[in-house]
Amino acid sequence: MGRKSLQQDNVVDFGSGCGRTKKTKICSRLILSSCLLLIFAFFTAAALADDHEGKHDSHKKHDTKHCDDKHDDNPDVLPVTNPNYSNECGACHFAYPPGLLPSASWREIVAGLENHFGEEVAIDTESKNILIQYLESNAADTSKTELSEKIMRGIDGQTLLRITELSYIIKKHHDIEPSVFKRPSIGSLSNCAACHKGAETGDFDDDRIVMPK
Ligand code: HEC
Ligand code: HEC
């Protein structure tokens, strides 16, 4: 008798929860729809975050991307991601990551392209606007990466047109013999990627430096 009532109790308990009755269907439908809702909410949030190319998110976005890299440190500056920029501004030299100069410097560089360090760089107005937008939203004063912040601390209100004139960059290369820069494989301090093997990915860490002979 006691056993039977125990079994009955069990059945009743089972049924009142997510049992094998009609309720099961309702229950699993509920679970399914809340799962779908959660998935939908997740993708909407992810899409929103992706669309948002703002100052704060570009850093966050980058951190996530960097998780895939073998190198576990954060990059020093955001790597160049804009194909217009790499094409137009990487044709004659290494396409300098925007995070190496503040927006004011980039604006002046783009405004003065007809006499760009003695060269004429011909770019139409529409492309210039695309470049400016990209440069400004990733510049040293807008992208909050470690190296950009160090660069900004040494700016002191100046609008420099060269990365190689930044006090932080000068200081970091102070101990290198001038003859090293004259090597044909290097040329000058402006040729960052000659020694910084991670420069293309925004990595200027001293453990990725190889000075070519
Ligand atoms: C026609 C070739 C050419 C193109 C295209 C070009 N540059 Fe240059 N750039 C130069 C030369 C030459 C120098 C001076 C290099 C030197 O003195 O060692 C220079 C220097 C620079 C420097 C200073 C580097 C330093 O010494 O710190 C920056 C920044 C720069 N360019 C940005 C740009 C940007 C942004 C664009 C695209 C809008 C661009 N360049 C496109 C030829 C070019
Ligand atoms: C001749 C090779 C060479 C060239 C060209 C060069 N660097 Fe360097 N860079 C070095 C060396 C070597 C160090 C390490 C100095 C030290 O730690 O004492 C260094 C250090 C640095 C650091 C500090 C890294 C750290 O972890 O402290 C930064 C940032 C940097 N370089 C950026 C640049 C940029 C930007 C350019 C181009 C405008 C450039 N470098 C061009 C050789 C070079």
Q: Tell whether 57 is covered by a domain.
A: no
Say what the pLDDT of residue 33 is.
53
Say what the pLDDT of residue 148 is.
96
N-terminal to C-terminal alpha carbon distance within the chain = 94
Q: At what angle do helices 125-138 and 55-66 cross, to 10 degrees?
A: 70
CB-based pocket (< 6 A), ligand 2: 76, 100, 147, 163-164, 169, 172-173, 175-176, 180-181, 186, 189-192, 194-196, 204-206, 209, 211
In this prediction, residues 192-207 reach a mean pLDDT of 96
Q: Tell whether 24 is covered by a domain.
A: yes
In this prediction, residues 186-197 reach a mean pLDDT of 98
Across 30-34, 88-92, 135-139, 190-194, least confident range: 30-34
How many structural domains is the chain composed of? 2
Q: How far is the CA of 100 from the centre of ligand 2 (A)?
A: 12
Check whether residue 121 and residue 167 sit in a common domain: yes
Q: How far is the CA of 10 from the centre of ligand 2 (A)?
A: 73
Check whether residue 96 and residue 196 sit in a common domain: yes
Q: What is the pLDDT of residues 78-129, one digit of tens each?
A: 999 999 999 999 999 999 999 999 999 999 999 999 999 999 999 999 999 9
- Give the position, in ligand 1's atom list, of the atom nearest the Cα of 120: 1
Check whether residue 112 and residue 188 sit in a common domain: yes
Q: What is the mean pLDDT of the chain?
A: 78
User: How would residue 74 be classed by pLDDT, with cut points 50, 70 and 90?
Assistant: confident
Q: How far is the CA of 81 from the centre of ligand 1 (A)?
A: 18
Q: Which mutation among 71, 192, 207 tests ligand 2's pocket best, with the greatest number of atoms within 8 A of CB?
A: 192
Judged by DSSP in three states, 71 sits in coil
Check whether residue 20 and residue 97 sit in a common domain: no
Q: Tell whether 176 is covered by a domain.
A: yes
Given a cut of 90, whether residue 138 has pLDDT beyond it is yes
In this prediction, residues 139-153 reach a mean pLDDT of 95
Nearest one of 202, 168, 206 to 74, comparing CA atoms: 202
% the chain with pLDDT above 90: 64
Q: How far is the CA of 46 from the centre of ligand 1 (A)?
A: 37
Check whether residue 115 and residue 157 sit in a common domain: yes
Check whether residue 88 and residue 47 sit in a common domain: no
% the chain with pLDDT above 70: 66
**Domain around 15:** 2-51
- Residue 6: alpha-carbon gap to chain centroid: 63
Check whether residue 37 and residue 106 sit in a common domain: no
Check whether residue 24 and residue 94 sit in a common domain: no
Q: What is the pLDDT of residues 149-159, one digit of tens each?
A: 999 999 999 99
Check whether residue 42 and residue 94 sit in a common domain: no
In this prediction, residues 28-57 reach a mean pLDDT of 44
Phi first, then psi, for residue 76 (nearest 5°) are: -75, -40
Check whether residue 185 and residue 114 sit in a common domain: yes
